[in-house]
Amino acid sequence: MKPGDHPEFFRFPAPEGRSRESTIRLDAEGRFHHDGERVEHGKLADAMHRWISRHPDDGRYILTNGYDWTYFTVDDAPYVVRSLRTADDGTVDLVLSDGTEEAWDPSTTRVGDEDALYARVKGEVRGGPYEAKFSRHAQLALAPLLVADDPPPEAAVPAKAPRVRLRGRVVRIGGT
């Protein structure tokens, strides 16, 4: 049993002379920084992506490895969709920045600033659900799945949310 499995783990005070606050930051592209410097060590950055969680009392983002934890800052979304895996049956799995994969549900995906896509992920894990921002690579990988809308008859008519074809069905991103 790891200390993190104890029901009071996140309520224990920081070690003497230390703080649970940190200068660790996750930028909008999914890169970690510490004290203003980018975390360059690939294995450490990979581990940090796997340690993302939320504090059970205040909901703030934390990094925890089950033995210790600290608060950190998230500039945009805590996870990044790095790539897509499309199966022969037309289903799409999202490959996330923590190395996990999960089925994509376009109805829980939203279009954000600068047309960036954000999917709801990790609904079954502690602190979930979370958002995952599609990387440029992952968003471009959707191109073969997109279904063209007829152009609006007038410029004043707002464009509709994008649609994709999954398992032979056309689904609108965001479920609208």
Q: Report the run of H or E that residue 70 belongs to, with start and end.
A: strand 69-71
Say which range, 34-43, 72-81, 155-164, has the weakest mean pLDDT: 155-164
Q: How far apart are alpha carbons 71 and 20 in whole angstroms?
A: 6
- For the domain spanning 3-74, the CATH number is 3.10.540.10
* DSSP-based three-state secondary structure for 144: helix
Q: What pLDDT does 153 receive?
A: 54
Q: Is 10 exposed, middle or buried (0-12, 13-18, 19+ CB in 10 A)?
A: middle
pLDDT confidence of 159, banded at 50, 70, 90?
A: low
Task: Kindly tell me if the per-residue pLDDT of 108 is higher than 50.
Answer: yes
pLDDT confidence of 12, banded at 50, 70, 90?
A: confident
Q: What pLDDT does 130 receive?
A: 98
Please tell me whether the peptide bond between 129 and the residue prior to it is cis, using omega within 30 degrees of 0: yes
pLDDT confidence of 167, banded at 50, 70, 90?
A: low
How confident is the model over 13-32, as pLDDT tens digits? 888 999 999 999 999 999 99
Domain boundaries, the chain: 3-74, 79-172
pTM: 0.85
Q: What pLDDT does 89 receive?
A: 84
pLDDT confidence of 126, banded at 50, 70, 90?
A: confident
Of the candidates 116, 117, 118, 84, which has an alpha carbon nearest to the alpha carbon of residue 103? 84
- Whole-number average pLDDT of the chain: 89
